[in-house]
Amino acid sequence: MIHTPNVGADAWIMGLVVSGLGTILGAVNIITTILTLRAPGLTMFRMSVFTWNILFTALMVIMAFPVLTAALLVLEADRRLGAHVFSSSVAGPMLWQHLFWFFGHPEVYIMVLPGFGVISEVLPVFARKPIFGYKAIAASTVAIAFLGFLTWAHHMFTAPIPEGILVFVMLSSYFIAVPTGVKVLNWVATLWRGSIEFRTPLLFCVGAIAIFLIGGISGIFLATFPIDWQVNETYFVVAHLHFVLLGGAVMPIFAAIYYWFPKMTGRMLSEGLGRLSCALIFLGILTTFLIQHVMGLDGMPRRVYEYDTVGHLQLYNVISTIGSFILAAGVAATVVNVVLSLRKGTVAGPDPWQANTLEWFTASPPPANNFDVVPLVRSAEPMKDIRREVARRSGGDASPSGATVPAGARQVGV
Ligand SMILES: [Cu+2]
């Protein structure tokens, strides 16, 4: 029997199949491009950390998305072709949960790994130091991608699963804290004793690390299955999820917008509005979601629009609602910033941050062919090499951050 007989659910299922196919094909494109179309001299270990993270995100996509896409097609076959794969008479709901979460857990990393890449890309630029432990950061990305496929059943701790498997899933979930901890340690070490410029992209990254850390810590709680049995289906889980995704994906996306907007449009975003936006988003996240841990521990179930007025639940919900307005104001500040700066922003020039990677070699916005001459890459920080070379030829300041690359150098290639 179909509980949702209308065609809407079919449109939803087949829409996800089509978008899943698009995601898979996009990942194939990304992997092939990274493996076969790098600039001369750009070895794998000279790639930017962002590119490493995008590569492993794409690999996770082609492992995880086909499973979801196939499961959705089977679901549609159940609904319209009379198949009974997910029928409760053959333990179908358990099979659905396994297939969904085999996709669903890696999907979290598919969302946060690009964010981690942005953080690893932005921190060294504004600390004026190379990234601390380049290979450790790349290796931790590989480890997160691998371990991410062993832990899906931690979303099913209350389903009937043998206890031995629960223990295995609990331990493998704990292990993910190790490579994640390596990343956080390397980020802090990158900032350590750097000559830090507190520009908006950096502020968003530092905020992202702090927010993500809170989500990581409540993740350790939830990976412990006796605790999960207590807080499963409560607001504690809602709080955890939002700290992970707002810290791991959303705040880095804002950092990326502020960092690459000058390259994309040729104009800078306003620093003042950027800082205001960052402060409001950071405060908004804390106000909205910290209190939700307490709501969950007090027993408020998730997915409700009404709740009991027992204890302080009403007060907590009001605090959370106020926080969501602060958060929304922060997002609005960036929207206003983008609209205003598109027309009136300071002209950026090719390399406004004195950054390290090759996109800053070409004009802002880049021409259709990207580079008139494809530059030769000699290290993991090619723009530093280019600035040093330009300074040497002009006999001026030889420090890699002191010299600017003149427009002529961009035409002939250095
Ligand atoms: Cu998970």
**Beta bridge partners of residue 234, listed in sequence order:** 301
Ligand 1 mean position to 368 CA, how many Å?
Answer: 41
Ligand 1 mean position to 155 CA, how many Å?
Answer: 6
Q: 3-state DSSP call for residue 234?
A: strand
Ligand 1 mean position to 144 CA, how many Å?
Answer: 12
Ligand 1 mean position to 154 CA, how many Å?
Answer: 6
Ligand 1 mean position to 125 CA, how many Å?
Answer: 32
Residue 56 and residue 51: Cα distance in Å, rounded? 9
Ligand 1 mean position to 105 CA, how many Å?
Answer: 4
Residue 171 and residue 223: Cα distance in Å, rounded? 8
Strand locations in 266-347 (E): none
Ligand 1 mean position to 219 CA, how many Å?
Answer: 9
In the chain, where the domains are located: 368-412
pLDDT at 396: 58
Tokens for 265? 């449009």
Ligand 1 mean position to 65 CA, how many Å?
Answer: 15
Tokens for 196? 């830090």
Ligand 1 mean position to 224 CA, how many Å?
Answer: 12
pLDDT at 388: 87
Ligand 1 mean position to 388 CA, how many Å?
Answer: 45
Residue 207 and residue 278: Cα distance in Å, rounded? 8
Residue 222 and residue 244: Cα distance in Å, rounded? 13
The pLDDT of 359-363, averaged and rounded, is 92
* Cα angle value 112/118/119 (rounded, 5°): 90
Ligand 1 mean position to 157 CA, how many Å?
Answer: 11
The pLDDT of 126-139, averaged and rounded, is 91
Ligand 1 mean position to 242 CA, how many Å?
Answer: 13
Treating both helix axes as pointing N-terminal to C-terminal, what angle do 163-191 and 92-127 enclose, rounded to 10 degrees?
A: 10
Residue whose token pair is 């991410």: 148
| Residue among 388, 387, 389, 393 nearest 405 (CA) | 387
Ligand 1 mean position to 103 CA, how many Å?
Answer: 10
Report CA-CA distances (Å) from 60 to 103, 180, 247, 390. Answer: 9, 17, 20, 40
Ligand 1 mean position to 263 CA, how many Å?
Answer: 35
Element (DSSP H or E) covering residue 166? helix 163-191
pLDDT at 311: 84
Residue 305 and residue 273: Cα distance in Å, rounded? 34
Q: Is 161:229 a contact under the CB 8 Å cutoff?
A: no
pLDDT at 400: 46
Ligand 1 mean position to 101 CA, how many Å?
Answer: 8
Ligand 1 mean position to 149 CA, how many Å?
Answer: 9
Ligand 1 mean position to 239 CA, how many Å?
Answer: 14
Band of pLDDT at residue 404, cut at 50, 70 and 90: low
| Residue among 24, 238, 228 nearest 110 (CA) | 24
List pLDDT tens digits, range 270-327.
999 999 999 999 999 999 999 999 999 998 999 988 887 878 999 999 999 999 999 9
Q: Is 167:106 a contact under the CB 8 Å cutoff?
A: no
List pLDDT tens digits, range 164-198.
999 999 999 999 999 999 999 999 999 999 899 99
Q: What are phi and psi of 276, to 5 degrees?
A: -60, -45
Does 410 or 119 have the greater pLDDT score? 119
- Answer yes or no: pTM beyond 0.85: yes
- Asked if the peptide bond before residue 406 counts as cis, ω within 30 degrees of 0, the response is no
Ligand 1 mean position to 53 CA, how many Å?
Answer: 19
